[in-house]
Structure 1
Amino acid sequence: MADETEIVNYLFKRLYQLGIRSVHGVPGDFNLVALDYLDPAGLNWVGNCSELNAGYAADGYARINGISALITTFGVGELSAVPAIAGSYSERVSIVHIVGVPSTKTEKHGLPIHHTFADGDYSAFKNISKTISQACITLDDAKIAGKEIDRVLRALPVDMVLSKTPAQGLDNPIDLTVPRNDLDTETEAVEAIKKALYGSSNAIILVGVGAMQYRVLKEVQEFIDLSQLPVFLTPMVRAPKKPQEQSINTDLRVNSALYGQEKLMLHVETSVHSQFRGVYNGDASGPEIQQAIQSADLVVFIGPLNTDFNSGGFTSYTKTKNTIEFQSNFTKVGYATYLDVGMKLVLPRILDSIDVRKIQHPQTNITKVEKPIDVEAKITEPSDQEVTQQWFWGHIGDWLQEGDVVVAETGTSSFGIMDTRFPKGVTAITQILWGSIGFSVGACQGATLAIAESERPTRRVILFVGDGSFQLTGNEISTMIRHGLKPIIVVLNNDGYTTERKIHGPEMSYNDIQPWKYRKFLKAFGARKGEYKNYVVRTQSECYGLFNKGNEFSKANVIQATS
């Protein structure tokens, strides 16, 4: 390798080494030169309808691929992406946000150029990004640019794009060593955990989203297999990514909480197989699940995150004295806290030293929770009754196939899909914590692209989105058409903002939307005849017929359905 290379080339080659193959974004005058270097680095330029859509798409791509990249221009472009980047940061999704900014000379002299406030301050937008980024840096020193890229990726001044930086770093993988726990404290914690496990007669395992974020699903699976204890999940765990073979370095994950989202991901519900008992969401859970959690004399809680939607409105409850809690940087056993003992390293020690013969299994019979289909709604004969939310979500799981990727929009879709039972290997993408409406359409594009680039390109991607949310970002279907992506898109005709109506103002005009001719969209966006199919269903029998597994609808097509 040459002694020096262009900064932009170094940057893009690092992205390629991290497993990124496509880069989302919108071109702008301050990033155009940099975009010329994507193709030589082996990267595909997606090109989205807006920076907001690009951010959502990068989020969906990262949830499948493990990491993604987004390129915008200074000011107007990067600010348009802020809601999407903030959502990724909130939900610990790994996105590298690269911003093309004015030249160092322009900034030095404070010139009042376009995309600024004409006040000479070029730091305003970067300061905004700092609050929603794990790390943020401007590359304005060619001598150390390579090292800075390896530490953090964020902004690239237009005159620094072609500046030379030492290239030798590209020959070496980025160090991803996890800092060791304090050995004495870790040993004390392990002994306390084993004592609690051996002394329990009715223990259960509760897996939180931290198990995904902090890359311990493999260890969690081994612990489940070893202990054979009943397992429950919290709602946010239903968003894992596909299995991959190697992890990626966390130091290059910029506009996210970088300490999570590795590529070595297992589907939790599939992994826990026979030990899986259900999803615990506080008072929103079924009575049998609530009873199982409340009657346990020990809850092994791995990676809890007590947000409102993830805890049944803060009604999830475990007794501190009866809980072992694993987090990224501490472990709690009852009332004792062991600081700097993170789950990534303490779990393997537990696996190596535990005596499974001393673990007692629950005395109560916690049966496996079956999918919650309302008895009155269950089909015996196809009905001509109108499709309802309860009926739809109670039956959609029967149509899903092994390996599907399900994208559920914030609102009726994300809540409805929560209790839908998935076949083996189904990956769910939702945005339970951030909850930005419109997220799912862009995320669907990104996820579909990541699947197309993966080792299993035939996996179906299915989007469930309400009509209100669709109207925010529906133009991203244009990008899907341009790249030949064919997800299955189900638009639920809720006639407005149904979730908001349930919260407040069911009859108020601010929850109304203008009805669109959704079936005209594909043609209007340039899809050619034969490249897509449209369907409309209004009754249970029509829906049942369309979603029958023997129907051609089981294949990947762009569709529109109403309910």
Structure 2
Amino acid sequence: MSKTVNLAHYMFTRLRQLGVRSVHGVPGDYTLRALDYLKPAGLKWIGNCNELNAGYAADGYARIKGISALFTTYGVGELSALNAVAESFAEFAPVDISLGDGSLGVYADIYMNFTVAQASLFDPSTAAEVFDEALEKCMKESRPIYVNLPSDMVGAQVLESPLGRPLEIAPPTNEAGLESIVANLVLDRVYSSKRPYILEVNELARVTGFPTFASTFGGGTVDSTLHNYHGVHGGGHGSLDFAPYTNGADLALLFRLFLSDTNTQGWSAVSERDITLAFRRKSIEFGASNVYQIHIRRFMRRLLDRLEPGRLPKQISAASTLPSVRNQAASLPPIDSSASIDQDSFYLRISSFFRPHDIIVCANGTPLVGGRDFVLPPHATLINSAIWLSVGHMFLATQGISLAQSELGTGSRTIFFEGDGSFQATAQELGTIDRYKLNAYIFIINNGGYTFERLIHGLDAEYNDVAPWRYLKAPEMMGARNDGSYDFETHDVGTWGELQSALGNESFQSGKGLKLVNVRMGRDDLTSNFKPALKLAGKQLMAETS
């Protein structure tokens, strides 16, 4: 007789096989029995303060582990998490949302718009197969799926034998003839170019030597040590101006670029369509007319194998005058220890604190823009958001990232930068970081409110203020204790000398425990070249509403 297991055990075992070790969520009446099967399957429960925060944390966890799991109860729980799941969908984070459902199908219909598969496990004879198919879609598409686990199906018996077969999660293959044709078309454009550039890809940049840039969202996708990497292309609002070169280019190779106003700095960093080869996840666009449906991951391997370096443009003279973020950092004047910390140089200077393999996270707002100036060491990763821009998201993503880091045992540090307004949105999860003894740096950019909004509209308006929290008291209020059970330290800095003192401390550099730094800056201070973009947005807003 074939051996069977409970459906909940089957599901959690499958997740563990894919690398999940922790499940985020909030318990509810309809999920309690299912949660009893987490520990026997080798998984750990991470209880967040609410479902939205749990969804944000699962998003961060998935960006490191390749998949995560979010468990909520039906109705109020899943609707609370919806904004986080939508963000994961928009930014390609593979999250498995499992619901203990009381049979109200309307919620599955709602989630259909934000997930690539919806699995309702009503029938024990098909439940395992349906769940596996959804997981495969989650991994292949790198997007969330919705799984409806009715409370009366938790203990349903399903065959155990499928667990002995690995899921099919390899990237899809391309039709060989089409792949060859498209490779030839791409290489012809590359070989004939005189003034090309690359936006966001690594190995091709190294092999070709073409001038290479990143977008705001993709600041960590290119090896900053490459001699031909120049920095984040911010169009007319970047810290460095690459327009004299890019405006005269005859070939722009764009890789998985998210075309949003924030990621392209008000569309000012978008290349002309007729010179653009846009490599999407499942297609390549040649200008505005020809689109080839092809999976990029496998295609790029073929393209690189066939590329002949001897046929590349021999010399791109115009590139010799391009500025670089490395030179920008190197040309900073010596630090005046008594001077106030400013946005223009903070992100350049603090780059010297980063180490190889660090994961650096930037929240929405001033850190998102300031992070364009980071000079990253080899193998460091930069994670931010440039599409959904949900306030408070990236703090919880940091919690998920730190958790994933600890499970992988890499020893790498997680370093997070967030404005004071964003921090106040989800600050209660400092208690979760303490509860599970996670390691994280948190730099609060404290400028007394929503600086982005002030510069768009309402410079002195009360609605752009936030409460003046005593941030350094937050860890203790959330549960951190000075009894040796958990390392945490806090620092209040407003001058370069105070910041240097904190960064130079050996215990601070270790990355163990929580390091919370309140970085006081001017209320209206912002990276200089980005201020005109916000003022322009304000003028457009006034024109639209007048």
Shift of 1:375: 10
Match of 1:262 in 2: none
User: Is the contact between residue 371 and residue 419 of structure 1 (CA under 8 Å) also seen in structure 2?
Assistant: no
In the TM superposition, 1:56-67 aligns within 5 A as 56-67=56-67
In the TM superposition, 1:25-40 aligns within 5 A as 25-40=25-40
Match of 1:150 in 2: 132
Per residue, is there more strand in 1 or in 2?
A: 2
Match of 1:555 in 2: 510
SS in 1 for 2:57: helix
In 2, the alpha carbon distance for the partners of 1:192 and 1:55 equals: 42
Match of 1:418 in 2: 372
In the TM superposition, 1:313-332 aligns within 5 A as 313-332=266-285
User: Is the contact between residue 27 and residue 73 of structure 2 (CA under 8 Å) also seen in structure 1?
Assistant: yes
Instruction: Please state if 1:235 is matched with 2:210.
Output: no
For residue 468 of structure 2, the aligned residue among 492, 512, 515 is: 515
In 1, the alpha carbon distance for the partners of 2:149 and 2:495 equals: 54
SS in 2 for 1:432: coil
In 2, the alpha carbon distance for the partners of 1:415 and 1:334 equals: 29
1:285-308: CA deviation from partner (whole Å, max 9, x where unpaired): 356422222222222222232111
> How many residues get paired?
502
Match of 2:431 in 1: 478
SS in 2 for 1:515: coil
Instruction: Please state if 1:138 is matched with 2:120.
Output: yes
In 1, the alpha carbon distance for the partners of 2:205 and 2:517 equals: 41
1:267-316: CA deviation from partner (whole Å, max 9, x where unpaired): 5325x723312221322235642222222222222223211111111122
**More deviation, 439-448/23-32:** 439-448
In 1, the alpha carbon distance for the partners of 2:123 and 2:327 equals: 59
User: Is the contact between residue 245 and residue 319 of structure 2 (CA under 8 Å) also seen in structure 1?
Assistant: no
SS in 1 for 2:264: coil
Aligned-partner residue type, residue 311 of structure 2: K
Shift of 1:60: 1.2
User: Is the contact between residue 256 and residue 279 of structure 2 (CA under 8 Å) also seen in structure 1?
Assistant: yes
Match of 1:356 in 2: 309
Instruction: Please state if 1:534 is matched with 2:515.
Output: no
**More deviation, 133-142/155-164:** 133-142
User: Is the contact between residue 372 and residue 419 of structure 1 (CA under 8 Å) also seen in structure 2?
Assistant: no
User: Is the contact between residue 489 and residue 515 of structure 2 (CA under 8 Å) also seen in structure 1?
Assistant: yes
Aligned-partner residue type, residue 348 of structure 1: R
Point out where structure 2 has 5 or more consecutive residues left out of the alignment: 135-145, 521-546
SS in 2 for 1:236: coil
Match of 1:78 in 2: 78
SS in 2 for 1:534: strand
Aligned-partner residue type, residue 326 of structure 1: F
User: Is the contact between residue 361 and residue 398 of structure 2 (CA under 8 Å) also seen in structure 1?
Assistant: yes
Aligned-partner residue type, residue 36 of structure 1: D
User: Is the contact between residue 448 and residue 468 of structure 2 (CA under 8 Å) also seen in structure 1?
Assistant: yes
Match of 2:382 in 1: 428
**Structure 1 residues 416 and 286, CA gap change in structure 2 (3 angstroms):** closer
In the TM superposition, 1:324-403 aligns within 5 A as 324-334=277-287, 337-361=290-314, 362-366=316-320, 367=322, 369-371=324-326, 378-403=332-357
Match of 1:407 in 2: 361
Match of 1:255 in 2: none
Shift of 1:374: 8.4
**More deviation, 324-333/35-44:** 324-333
Aligned-partner residue type, residue 278 of structure 1: G
Instruction: Please state if 1:293 is matched with 2:286.
Output: no
Match of 1:546 in 2: 502
**Structure 1 residues 222 and 553, CA gap change in structure 2 (3 angstroms):** closer
SS in 1 for 2:517: coil
Identical aligned residues as a percent = 33
In 1, the alpha carbon distance for the partners of 2:309 and 2:333 equals: 44
Aligned-partner residue type, residue 81 of structure 1: A
Shift of 1:403: 1.8
In 1, the alpha carbon distance for the partners of 2:344 and 2:52 equals: 32
Aligned-partner residue type, residue 229 of structure 1: F
In 1, the alpha carbon distance for the partners of 2:494 and 2:171 equals: 53
**Structure 1 residues 189 and 513, CA gap change in structure 2 (3 angstroms):** same
Q: Which has the higher contact order (CA 8 A, sep 6+)?
A: 1
Shift of 1:169: 1.4
TM-score (ref. length: structure 2): 0.87
For residue 174 of structure 1, the aligned residue among 167, 176, 179 is: 167
User: Is the contact between residue 99 and residue 155 of structure 1 (CA under 8 Å) also seen in structure 2?
Assistant: yes
Aligned-partner residue type, residue 156 of structure 2: S
Shift of 1:320: 2.8
In 1, the alpha carbon distance for the partners of 2:73 and 2:370 equals: 37
**Structure 1 residues 336 and 184, CA gap change in structure 2 (3 angstroms):** farther
In 2, the alpha carbon distance for the partners of 1:375 and 1:455 equals: 33
1:315-355: CA deviation from partner (whole Å, max 9, x where unpaired): 22323332222223322334551432332333233223332
In 1, the alpha carbon distance for the partners of 2:348 and 2:308 equals: 41
Instruction: Please state if 1:50 is matched with 2:50.
Output: yes
User: Is the contact between residue 234 and residue 240 of structure 2 (CA under 8 Å) also seen in structure 1?
Assistant: no
SS in 2 for 1:307: coil
User: Is the contact between residue 283 and residue 312 of structure 1 (CA under 8 Å) also seen in structure 2?
Assistant: yes
TM-score (ref. length: structure 1): 0.84
In 1, the alpha carbon distance for the partners of 2:333 and 2:170 equals: 54
**Structure 1 residues 187 and 400, CA gap change in structure 2 (3 angstroms):** closer
Instruction: Please state if 1:494 is matched with 2:447.
Output: yes
Aligned-partner residue type, residue 496 of structure 2: Q
Match of 1:87 in 2: 87
**RMSD value, Cα:** 2.3
In 2, the alpha carbon distance for the partners of 1:166 and 1:394 equals: 56
1:121-169: CA deviation from partner (whole Å, max 9, x where unpaired): x223222211111222211111011111111251100000110112221
Aligned-partner residue type, residue 553 of structure 1: F
SS in 2 for 1:141: coil
In 2, the alpha carbon distance for the partners of 1:381 and 1:428 equals: 26
Match of 1:466 in 2: 419
**Structure 1 residues 13 and 77, CA gap change in structure 2 (3 angstroms):** same
SS in 1 for 2:223: helix
Match of 1:192 in 2: 185
1:200-238: CA deviation from partner (whole Å, max 9, x where unpaired): 22222222xxxxxxxxxxxx5443343232322222213
1:156-207: CA deviation from partner (whole Å, max 9, x where unpaired): 0000011011222111111134444344433332222222222222222222
Point out where structure 1 has 5 or more consecutive residues left out of the alignment: 108-121, 208-219, 240-266
User: Is the contact between residue 242 and residue 323 of structure 2 (CA under 8 Å) also seen in structure 1?
Assistant: no
1:470-518: CA deviation from partner (whole Å, max 9, x where unpaired): 1111010101111111311122222111221121111111111221121
In 1, the alpha carbon distance for the partners of 2:478 and 2:518 equals: 18
**Structure 1 residues 182 and 229, CA gap change in structure 2 (3 angstroms):** same
In 1, the alpha carbon distance for the partners of 2:298 and 2:494 equals: 53
User: Is the contact between residue 367 and residue 418 of structure 2 (CA under 8 Å) also seen in structure 1?
Assistant: yes
User: Is the contact between residue 360 and residue 380 of structure 2 (CA under 8 Å) also seen in structure 1?
Assistant: yes
Match of 1:260 in 2: none
In 1, the alpha carbon distance for the partners of 2:445 and 2:294 equals: 46
In 2, the alpha carbon distance for the partners of 1:541 and 1:2 equals: 69
Aligned-partner residue type, residue 552 of structure 1: S
